[in-house]
Amino acid sequence: MVPIEYYLILSVVLFAMGAAGVLARRNALIIFMSIELMLNAANLAFVTFARQYGQLDGQVFVFFVIAAAAAEVAVGLALIVMIFRSKHSIDVDQMSSLRE
Amino acid sequence: MLFSEAMSTGFFNLAPLVVLFPGIGLLFNMVFGGRLPEKVVGWVASLAVGAAFVISILLAVSLSAIHGHAEIVSVTEWMSIGSLHLDWAFRVDTLSVAMMLMVSGVGTLIHIYAIGYMHEDVRFKGDPTRFQRFFVFMNLFIAMMMILVSGDNYLMLFVGWEGVGLCSFLLIGFWYDLDILGRPSLENAKAANKAFIANRIGDFGFLIASFLIFTYLGSLQFDLVFAEVEHVAQPVILTITLFMLLGVVGKSAQIPLFVWLPDAMAGPTPVSALIHAATMVTAGVYLVARSAPLYGTVPAAQEIVALIGAVTALFAATIAVAQYDIKRVLAYSTISQLGFMVAAVGMGAYAAGMFHLVMHAFFKALLFLSAGSVILGIERGYHAMSHGKKGHGFHHTDDEVFNPNDMRNMGGLKDRMPVTFWVYLAGTLALAGIPPFAGFWSKDEILLDASLHYPVVYWLLTAAAFMTAFYMGRQVWLVFFGKSRHEAAEKAEESPRIITAPLVILAGLSVLGGVLNLPHFHTLGHWLEYTLGELRISEFSWLMAGQATLIALFAIFLAWLLYGRREQAANEPDALKKLLGPAFVVFEHMYWIDEGYAAVFINRYKDLARFLAEVIDGRFWHDWLHDSVLAAGFGKLARFLADPVDLGLIDGIANGLADLTQWVASRLRRFQNGFVRSYALSVLLGVVLILGYLLFR
Amino acid sequence: MAVDFELIMFFILAGVGIGTAAGMLLSRSAVYSALFLVLNFGAVAGFYLFLNAPFIAMAQITVYAGAIMVLFLFVIMLLGAEKLTPPEVLPWQRPLAVVLAGILILEAAYLLFLRTPGLGEIQMPGFGPDTSPAAIGAILFGKYLLPFEITSVLLLTAMVGAIVLVRPRKQGGGQE
């Protein structure tokens, strides 16, 4: 018997860790992974609620999120490859030309 | 509409047309006049007045068909304020129709004359574009004069009164920027202002009188006012009539407000004839006649009116004998003759006064127009002379000062301008009162009445009549007889037919006009009785008539002695001057009335104005109140606002805001650092803050 | 209160999940991070099983731990495990990120444990509706048919986009 709050707080912790990773790390790949972590945290919350309310819709939503994440990773990694080709670096702090 | 049917019901409904026709004429000329030839403009204007004349005849016929009962044709309600109810209504009675006939009849002839006169005048002055404007003003004048004489209440009369005053102003100042030879000058504009301001003083009196009438008699409509007269105290009526008299002396150029009329001759000659001789200046006489029920109740007022008229008649006549300007002589003559009329209506001899008014309109219009013809002739001669001169290379020193109006430049025009001479002679004899010319009958009637009721007035008027005959004789000798005293007079030419034709008609009227009111018949007198009630009509007296005729003939003989018997040389002093000496100088300078007014009134007024300007406005208002009180106060306030408030507070806030913004910006700029992680950080910060807000709100 | 087996299982898994997440964040090598993340995904998949979502658990393992993470590893290998060198240009970024994340967790905890009435508990072998892949498929191809098809378009677009992006450019030439 696990209180639902536990699942949810776990979801939040994972989400916060992912967010912190996005903010703290400079490596674009790690940032990407952190984003995946955050998506996972959200998925966990979805599934928890689906379980609580006895509905399948939450799980279907997670399915969509996984699909979107896959698409995002495919495009994102392609971008990173492109950026690495031109800048020879995946440090996001190097990608600050938007400032000017 | 069948004519016979109209005869039975009358043409009274056509009354508004007497105003409408000239109105249409002026609008037409205003809109299209610029694109039409001069002839069309002139004839449209003349026809408009002629149409008004026809309507006036129809009204007169209708009126006689119903035995002269007054008809009131109301067009529309004008105003209804409290107890004041006024209609825009035309009063068709024997008095107003007599005036309408005179105004439109003489007006038509003068309009026709003006077609020829202005054609030459605008070319002589060098601005032909003003031809159209002249006829617009003239039509406007006729329309206003018609409102004046046909209005059914004092306010409508006042509208016309002011309207003709305006037209007078516009037409006196017609050549507002040019002098008589077309050189730049402001004299005419000044004359126009003088006329306007003098009239304004009179209008003020009329206005006060109207207010008093409304206050004490409860209405402004003639019938209602006159019905109330009996119920009002004599002093009130006296006050009303005296204030009204102020209007009369202003409009009809009587002492003391006559000074504007001589200067008004600055207007083109048709204007002098129409406005300043025949019609507008008689409005004062008409007003007294119209207000007969008011004056009838206060003999004191009547006496004052009669005396003012008589004194003016003599006074102006004495000035006229010493004038050189042909139009100025006629101007003073007009003042003098207006004095006759005012004296007549003052004495209660309304029939005689109105009779003289109409006769005077004929012969004075004739004289003015003839004088205009003379002036044109001289101008033509002057023109020919200057052209001839250019060929010879001969320089004339008189060029700069040549005055075509000056009788000293004339002489001997009898042969060169025969038509003008004969009609001028007819006018002169009519004015001098030689039987059987028109002026004889009317003047005789006035003198007769005066001799029976007001001996003082009689003697004054007789002296004036003597003077009249003398100055007219002098004028005729100087202008038409003898040798030409100037080259221009030698080359003078007769005027074209369009100018002489109206003169001939007017001359006919001046000769035969007397039949209108012959002794024993008194056609005009009985006609007016329908309106003015039972009139005092004095029976013809051979003694009086003979006496007057002899006096006039003697005066003309005297004039011949002085001016005709021996020819006057060009630079010789006036013959009368030798005879009268200083008195002549007094006359010549018009008793220094202008100067006297200038010293007594105008300069005092200017002093007052200067006092107000310099002391009250300048020293007190500006220097002290403005500079010391207001300016200093404002200065202190401004300094307070400027230094502590503006620099300290406002600028502090403004600069503070700017500094704050700059500071915030410099801080905020760090966020815009181009690092995507920082942006993401702010997103998370937003998430945390919003969630915190939602939780702890 | 007896020791709850399910609760113990939850805490063990949660510890694994949080530990692997922290490992992913803190490891210097991207390869380690990727491997930690695979472990993390596995732990989350365990939770899905607890939560009566076997289909999602399987999808999680195959798609995330399998496909996505393999893709990550490929890229890492392709680019080389780069060691990023200081200097850190945003000195406040890291502490701030940690603090904000902490605040976020505290807020969520406050919301869940202090503000919300009890949400109930979950029993491990899970009752509730049929969550078999057949049931998921039924709802996926019924109620959510249109989003499902859009997802397929999204995946196709991403695939084409990725290929176009990384396509080697011809020297001096444009597209084509």
Residues B404-449 pLDDT 10s: 888 888 888 888 889 999 999 999 999 998 888 888 989 988 998 8
**Cβ–Cβ under 8 Å, residues B568 and B412:** no
The answer to whether position A98 is within a domain reads no
Comparing B291 with B641, which gets the higher pLDDT? B291
Helix (H) or strand (E) holding B87: strand B84-92
> Which of the residues A96, A97, A100 would you substitute to probe the B interface, choosing the one with the greatest number of B C-beta atoms within 10 Å?
A96
Examine the pLDDT at C86 and tell me if it is beyond 70.
Answer: no
Which residue of chain B is at minimal alpha-carbon distance from C97? Answer: B681
DSSP label of B568: P
- C73-84 per-position pLDDT tens digit: 888 888 865 565
The domain that holds A74 is classified in CATH as 1.10.287.3510
In angstroms, the CA B89 to CA B86 distance is 8
Q: What is the pLDDT of residue B570?
A: 67
Q: What is the pLDDT of residue B671?
A: 62
Residue A59 is nearest to which of C18, C88, C136, comparing CB atoms? C136
Examine the pLDDT at B112 and tell me if it is beyond 90.
Answer: yes
Q: What is the pLDDT of residue B393?
A: 40
Examine the pLDDT at B148 and tell me if it is beyond 60.
Answer: yes
In angstroms, the CA B16 to CA B246 distance is 29
- B309-351 per-position pLDDT tens digit: 999 999 999 999 888 889 999 999 999 999 999 999 999 889 8
- A67-76 per-position pLDDT tens digit: 999 899 889 8
Which residue of chain A is at minimal alpha-carbon distance from B688? Answer: A16
Band of pLDDT at residue B391, cut at 50, 70 and 90: very low
Q: Are strands A2-3 and C121-122 parallel, antiparallel or unpaired?
A: antiparallel
Examine the pLDDT at B402 and tell me if it is beyond 60.
Answer: yes
- A23-40 per-position pLDDT tens digit: 888 888 888 899 999 999
C21 to A72: CB separation less than 8 angstroms, yes or no: no
Which residue of chain A is at minimal alpha-carbon distance from C168? Answer: A82
The amino acid occupying position A99 is R
Query: Which tokens in the block code for residue B82?
Result: 């409290």
Average pLDDT over residues C109-117: 83
Residues of B in contact with A95 (CB under 8 A): 676
Contact of B684 with chain C, judged by CB distance below 8 Å, is answered with yes
Average pLDDT over residues B106-135: 90
Examine the pLDDT at A42 and tell me if it is beyond 90.
Answer: yes
Examine the pLDDT at B149 and tell me if it is beyond 70.
Answer: yes
Q: Which residues contact B629 (CB under 8 A, 6 or more apart)?
A: none
C93 to B691: CB separation less than 8 angstroms, yes or no: no
- When the pLDDT of each residue in chain B is averaged and rounded to a whole number, the result is 86
- The torsion angle over the Cα atoms of residues C103, C109, C111 and C117, rounded to 10 degrees, is -170
Examine the pLDDT at B5 and tell me if it is beyond 70.
Answer: no
Examine the pLDDT at B275 and tell me if it is beyond 80.
Answer: yes
Contact of C105 with chain A, judged by CB distance below 8 Å, is answered with yes
B681 to C101: CB separation less than 8 angstroms, yes or no: no
Average pLDDT over residues B474-503: 86
Place of tokens 């001589």: B262
Q: Which residues contact B246 (CB under 8 A, 6 or more apart)?
A: B201, B202, B204, B205, B206, B208, B209, B257
Closest by CA position to B380, among listed B412, B401, B404, B415: B404
Looking at mean pLDDT, say which of B47-51, C89-93, C167-171 comes out highest. Answer: B47-51
Average pLDDT over residues C18-46: 90
Comparing B644 with B60, which gets the higher pLDDT? B60
Task: Work out the angle at residue C153's Cα, subtended by the Cα atoms of residues C150 and C154, and round it to the nearest 5 degrees.
Answer: 85
Residues of B in contact with A97 (CB under 8 A): 674
Which residue of chain B is at minimal alpha-carbon distance from A97? Answer: B674
The answer to whether position A100 is within a domain reads no
Examine the pLDDT at B389 and tell me if it is beyond 90.
Answer: no
pTM of the model: 0.65
What range defines the domain where residue A76 resides? Answer: 4-91
The answer to whether position A32 is within a domain reads yes
Task: Work out the angle at residue B494's Cα, subtended by the Cα atoms of residues B280 and B490, and round it to the nearest 5 degrees.
Answer: 115
Neighbours of chain C (3+ CB pairs under 8 A): A, B
The answer to whether position A86 is within a domain reads yes
The answer to whether position A65 is within a domain reads yes
Comparing B606 with B227, which gets the higher pLDDT? B227
Neighbours of chain B (3+ CB pairs under 8 A): A, C
Half-sphere exposure of B40 (CA within 13 A, CB side): 9
The sign one gets for the Cα dihedral B591, B592, B593, B599 is: negative
Examine the pLDDT at B161 and tell me if it is beyond 50.
Answer: yes
Q: What is the pLDDT of residue B397?
A: 45
CA–CA min distance B665, chain A (Å)? 15
The answer to whether position A69 is within a domain reads yes
Q: What is the pLDDT of residue C175?
A: 44
Lowest mean pLDDT among A53-67, B527-541, B546-560: B527-541
Lowest mean pLDDT among A7-16, B172-181, B381-390, C121-130: C121-130
Q: What is the number of CB-based contacts under 8 A between chain A and chain B?
A: 26
Closest by CA position to A92, among listed C25, C162, C90: C90
Q: What is the pLDDT of residue B164?
A: 94
Beta bridge partners of B74: B89
Distances (CA, A) of B184 to B126, B180, B181, B262, C156: 11, 10, 9, 21, 97
DSSP letter string, B426-494: HHHHHHHT-TTSHHHHHHHHHHHHHHHH-HHHHHHHHHHHHHHHHHHHHHHHHHHSS--SSHHHHT--P
The answer to whether position A97 is within a domain reads no
Q: What is the pLDDT of residue B111?
A: 94
CA–CA min distance C152, chain B (Å)? 29
Examine the pLDDT at B637 and tell me if it is beyond 60.
Answer: yes
Examine the pLDDT at B288 and tell me if it is beyond 90.
Answer: yes
Closest by CA position to B445, among listed B366, B331, B533, B528: B528
Q: What is the number of CB-based contacts under 8 A between chain B and chain C?
A: 32
**Cβ–Cβ under 8 Å, residues B354 and B296:** no
Q: Residues 538 to 567 of B: which have CB under 8 A from any A CB?
A: none
Q: Which residues contact B683 (CB under 8 A, 6 or more apart)?
A: none
Lowest mean pLDDT among B66-70, B306-310, B541-545, C20-24: B66-70
Residues of A in contact with B670 (CB under 8 A): none
Q: Residues 625 to 684 of B: which have CB under 8 A from any A CB?
A: 672-677, 680-681, 684
Of all residues in chain B, the percent with pLDDT exceeding 90 is 38
Residue B675 is nearest to which of A22, A96, A100, comparing CB atoms? A96
- Could you give the 3-state DSSP secondary structure of residue B258? coil
Examine the pLDDT at C2 and tell me if it is beyond 70.
Answer: no
DSSP label of B592: G
CA–CA min distance B681, chain C (Å)? 7
Tell me how far apart the 2 most distant CA atoms of chain C are, in Å.
Answer: 75
Residue A75 is nearest to which of C10, C88, C162, comparing CB atoms? C162
The amino acid occupying position C41 is F
CA–CA min distance C173, chain A (Å)? 17
C104 to B695: CB separation less than 8 angstroms, yes or no: no
CA–CA min distance C135, chain B (Å)? 36
CA–CA min distance B683, chain C (Å)? 11
Residues of A in contact with C53 (CB under 8 A): 47, 50-51, 59, 62
**Cβ–Cβ under 8 Å, residues B448 and B400:** no
CA–CA min distance B676, chain C (Å)? 11
- The torsion angle over the Cα atoms of residues A36, A40, A46 and A49, rounded to 10 degrees, is -160
The answer to whether position A43 is within a domain reads yes
CA–CA min distance B660, chain A (Å)? 23
C107 to B681: CB separation less than 8 angstroms, yes or no: no
Average pLDDT over residues B6-10: 59
C101 to B678: CB separation less than 8 angstroms, yes or no: no
A19 to B684: CB separation less than 8 angstroms, yes or no: yes
Residues of A in contact with B681 (CB under 8 A): 23
**Cβ–Cβ under 8 Å, residues C10 and A6:** yes
Average pLDDT over residues B482-497: 83
The count of domains in chain A is 1
Band of pLDDT at residue C171, cut at 50, 70 and 90: low
Examine the pLDDT at A16 and tell me if it is beyond 90.
Answer: yes
Comparing B629 with B430, which gets the higher pLDDT? B430
Band of pLDDT at residue C121, cut at 50, 70 and 90: confident
C101 to A40: CB separation less than 8 angstroms, yes or no: no
Contact of C111 with chain B, judged by CB distance below 8 Å, is answered with yes
Cis before C133 (ω within 30): no
At residue C113, φ and ψ (nearest 5 deg) are -95, -25
